[in-house]
Amino acid sequence: MKLLTCPVNGTRPLSEFVFGGEIRNMPDPAQASDSAWAAYVYNRTGAPGLKKEWWYHSPSGTWFVAERNTLTDQVARTYLYGQEDKA
Amino acid sequence: MSKRLPQRASEWLKRDKPISFYFEGQKYQAYEGDTISSALWAAGETVLGRSFKYHRPRGVLSLANHDVNVMLADGTDTNMRGDVLPVQDGMQLTVVNTDGGVKNDKKRFIDAISSILPVGFYYKAFHTPRSLFPFWENIIRKSAGLGVVNFNYPRELKRKLHTHCDLLIIGAGPTGLTAALMAAPHGVNIIVVDENAQAGGSLSYDLGGSDESAKRLADLLAELAKYPNVTLRTGAYAAGYYTDHLIPIVETTGITKVRAKAVIVASGAFEQPPVFRNNDLPGVMLATAAQRLLARYATKPCESAVVFAANKQGYRAAMDLLDAGVTVKAIVDLRAEGEPCSLVDAIKSRGVAIYNGACVYEVLPAANKFGVKGAVICSYDEASAKPLLHDRFTLACDGIIMSAGWAPAAALLYQAGTGMRYEKSAEQFVPAKLPAGMFAAGKVNGIFDLAQRLQDGARAASEALTYLGKQVPSVTVDREYIASPSHPYPMVEHPKGKNFVDFDEDISIKDFVHAAQEGFDNIELMKRFTTVGMGPSQGKHSNMNAIRILARIRQLPVERIGTTTARPFFHPTPIGHLAGRGLHPHRLTTLHGWHEAHDAEFTDVGVWKRPAWYRRAGLEKQQAIYEEALAVRKAAGMIDVGTLGKLEVRGPDAAEFLERFYTGSFKTQKIGRTRYALLLDEAGVMVDDGIACRIAEDYFYITASTTNAAAVYREMQRWLQIWQLDVGLVNVTGAYGGINLAGPAARGILSRLTLRPLDDASLPFGAVCDTEIAGVPARLIRVGFVSDLAFEMHVPAGSAQHVWNALLENGAAEGLRPFGTDTQRLLRLEMGNHLIGQDTDGLTQPFEAGSEGAIQFEKPFFIGQRSLQIIARKPLNKRLVPFTLSEGYQGETINECNLVIGADGNIKGRVTSIAFSPTVGRFIGFAYVDPANVAEGAAFNIRTDSGSLVMARVAATPFVQLQSEA
Question: Which among B242, B865, B870 is the nearest to A1, CB-wise?
Answer: B242
> Distance from A69 to chain B by nearest Cα, in Å?
14
pLDDT at B966: 47
Cα gap B440→B170, rounded to integer Å: 9
Mean pLDDT of B426-439: 95
Interface test with A, best of B434, B438, B584, B867 (most A CBs within 10 A): B867
Buried b (16+ CB within 10 A) or exposed e, B8-33: bebbbbeeeeebebebbeeebebbbb
CB contact under 8 A, B870 and A38: yes
DSSP track, B723-785: HT-S-EEEE-TTTEEEEEEESTTHHHHHHTT-SS--STTTS-TTBEEEEEETTEEEEEEEE-S
Q: Is the pLDDT of residue B692 over 70?
A: yes
What percent of chain B has a predicted confidence (pLDDT) above 90? 87
Q: Is the pLDDT of residue B965 over 60?
A: no
Mean pLDDT of B359-366: 97
Taking residue B796's Cβ as centre, other Cβ atoms within 10 Å add up to 16
The predicted-structure confidence for B937-963, as pLDDT tens digits, reads as follows: 999 999 999 999 999 999 999 999 876
**If you count DSSP H runs as helices and E runs as strands, how many of each does chain B have, helices first?**
25, 47
> Distance from A3 to chain B by nearest Cα, in Å?
6
The predicted-structure confidence for B225-249, as pLDDT tens digits, reads as follows: 999 999 999 999 999 999 999 999 9
What percent of chain A has a predicted confidence (pLDDT) above 70? 99
pLDDT at B906: 95
pLDDT at B139: 80
Q: Is the pLDDT of residue B124 over 90?
A: no
Q: Is the pLDDT of residue B7 over 90?
A: yes
CB contact under 8 A, B724 and A82: yes
CB contact under 8 A, B866 and A32: yes
Q: Which residue has the higher pLDDT, B730 or B139?
A: B730
Q: pLDDT-derived band of residue B48, with 50, 70 and 90 as boundaries? A: very high
Interface test with A, best of B243, B244, B719, B863 (most A CBs within 10 A): B244
Q: pLDDT-derived band of residue B746, with 50, 70 and 90 as boundaries? A: very high
Minimal-distance CA residue of chain A relative to B718 = A63
Q: What is chain B's mean pLDDT, rounded?
A: 94
Q: Name A5's bridge partners.
A: A11
The amino acid at residue B23 is F
pLDDT at B361: 98
Q: pLDDT-derived band of residue B147, with 50, 70 and 90 as boundaries? A: confident
CB contact under 8 A, A1 and B244: yes
Question: Which among B682, B718, B870 is the nearest to A34, CB-wise?
Answer: B870
The predicted-structure confidence for B641-669, as pLDDT tens digits, reads as follows: 999 999 999 999 999 999 999 999 999 99
CB contact under 8 A, A1 and B731: no
Chain A interface includes B730 (CB < 8 A): no
Hey, what's the torsion of the CAs at A42, A43, A49, A50, to 10 degrees?
-50
pLDDT at B211: 87
Please state the pTM of the whole predicted model: 0.86
* Dihedral-angle region of residue A40 (phi above 0 means left; psi in -120 to 50 means alpha; beta otherwise): alpha
Q: pLDDT-derived band of residue B479, with 50, 70 and 90 as boundaries? A: confident
pLDDT at B963: 67
CB contact under 8 A, A3 and B861: no
A72-86, B797-811, B928-942: lowest mean pLDDT where? A72-86
The predicted-structure confidence for B324-357, as pLDDT tens digits, reads as follows: 999 999 999 999 999 998 899 999 999 999 999 9
Mean pLDDT of B418-446: 95
B121-125, B593-597, B772-776, B935-939: lowest mean pLDDT where? B121-125
Answer yes or no: are the C-beta atoms of B406 and B270 closer than 8 Å: yes
Answer yes or no: are the C-beta atoms of B866 and B860 closer than 8 Å: no
DSSP track, B439-481: EE-GGGGT--SHHHHHHHHHHHHHHHHHHTT------------
Those residues with Cβ within 8 angstroms of residue B824's Cβ, 6 or more apart along the chain or in another chain: B639, B786
B246-250, B422-426, B444-448, B582-586: lowest mean pLDDT where? B582-586
Q: pLDDT-derived band of residue B284, with 50, 70 and 90 as boundaries? A: very high
Question: Which among B682, B714, B861 is the nearest to A56, CB-wise?
Answer: B714
Q: pLDDT-derived band of residue B54, with 50, 70 and 90 as boundaries? A: very high
DSSP track, B906-945: -EEEEEEEEEEETTTTEEEEEEEE-TTS-STT-EEEEE-T
Chain A interface includes B621 (CB < 8 A): no
pLDDT at B964: 64
> Distance from A18 to chain B by nearest Cα, in Å?
10
Answer yes or no: are the C-beta atoms of B692 and B658 closer than 8 Å: yes
Which of the residue ranges B289-293, B422-426, B481-485 has the most confident prediction, judged by mean pLDDT?
B289-293
Cα gap B509→A14, rounded to integer Å: 47
Secondary structure of B200-211 in the HEC alphabet? CHHHHCCCCCCC
β-bridge pairing B608-614 and B600-605: antiparallel
Nearest residue to A62 via CA among A24, A1, A10, A21: A10
> Distance from B723 to chain A by nearest Cα, in Å?
11
A22-36, B409-423, B448-462, B471-485: lowest mean pLDDT where? B471-485
Those residues with Cβ within 8 angstroms of residue B448's Cβ, 6 or more apart along the chain or in another chain: B312, B406, B426, B485
Domain positions in chain A are: 3-25+49-86
Chain A interface includes B935 (CB < 8 A): no
pLDDT at B116: 79
Domains assigned to chain B: 1-139 (3.10.20.440), 160-270+407-467 (3.50.50.60), 499-570 (1.10.10.1100), 592-642+735-828 (3.30.1360.120), 645-731 (3.30.70.1400), 875-966 (2.40.30.110)
pLDDT at A61: 94
Q: Is the pLDDT of residue B428 over 80?
A: yes
What residues of chain B lie within 8 A of the CB of A42, using their CB? 683
CB contact under 8 A, B866 and A29: yes
Q: Is the pLDDT of residue A9 over 50?
A: yes
Mean pLDDT of B864-884: 96
Q: pLDDT-derived band of residue B150, with 50, 70 and 90 as boundaries? A: confident
B509-517 and B543-554 helices, crossing angle to 10°: 50
Q: Kind and range of the H or E element at B803? A: helix B800-811
Answer yes or no: are the C-beta atoms of B883 and B953 closer than 8 Å: yes
Our CA angle for B494, B331, B489, nearest 5°, is 45
Q: Is the pLDDT of residue B480 over 70?
A: yes
> Distance from A55 to chain B by nearest Cα, in Å?
10
Interface test with B, best of A44, A60, A63 (most B CBs within 10 A): A63
Q: Is the pLDDT of residue B30 over 90?
A: yes
Answer yes or no: are the C-beta atoms of B467 and B264 closer than 8 Å: no
Those residues with Cβ within 8 angstroms of residue B653's Cβ, 6 or more apart along the chain or in another chain: B725, B726, B727
Burial tier of B835 (Cβ tally within 10 Å: 0-12, 13-18, 19+):
middle
A17-31, B123-137, B660-674, B859-873: lowest mean pLDDT where? B123-137
Minimal-distance CA residue of chain A relative to B685 = A41
Cα gap B441→B453, rounded to integer Å: 7
Q: Does domain A3-25+49-86 sit in CATH 3.30.2270.10?
A: yes
Q: Is the pLDDT of residue B1 over 90?
A: no
